Each structure stands twice: as C-alpha cells, then as structure tokens.
Amino acid sequence: MDYFEAKRKKERGMSNAEFLNYYYPELVKSKTIVIVNIDENDIISTYQTSDSQIRSVGMLEIAKKQILDDMEND
C-alpha cells in the first residue's frame, strides 16, 4: 500500500482498494453501475455500464440526494 492509500485508509477507514474489494461482490451483480472518480491530477472521470445516459443521470441524482441526506443526519 502506497503513502496515499495508507493516508486514505487512516482518514476514511479503508483504502480505495479495500473499498472496491468490499463492495465487489455486490457490484458485479448490479444491473447498472456509474462510477465517478478524481485521479491523482484532480481530473474527474465518469464511467457507466448503462446503455441509457438518462438512467445514469437519474442514478447520479439519487446518489446526490442520498449523500445530502447523510450529511443532514451527521
């Protein structure tokens, strides 16, 4: 584990690799997946498995609401 992965693990409780490994069994059974990431150069990328961009946008809106709801409850 490199320095940045170790730092993420300390700050967030798990590294990116641990996060992906933890959720992998659930993700591979998913009907659709949308991933948004920020790379080491602060470039944001989006990946999707859906053939419907409208569905992907809807999923992102739901994710946004769920995150905002979590922030309210903290």
Coil, helix or strand for 45? strand
The pLDDT of residue 64: 97
The pLDDT of residue 1: 64
No. of helices (H) and no. of strands (E), the chain:
3, 2
Cα distances (angstroms) measured from residue 59 to each of 5, 19, 22, 50, 53 = 27, 20, 21, 10, 10
Coil, helix or strand for 35? strand
Per-residue pLDDT of the chain (74 residues; tens, 9 = 90+): 677 777 767 777 888 888 999 999 999 999 999 999 999 999 999 999 989 999 999 999 999 999 999 999 98
* Residue 34 contacts residue 42 (beta carbons within 8 Å): no
Residues 50-65 pLDDT 10s = 899 999 999 999 999 9
Is this structure's pTM higher than 0.85? no
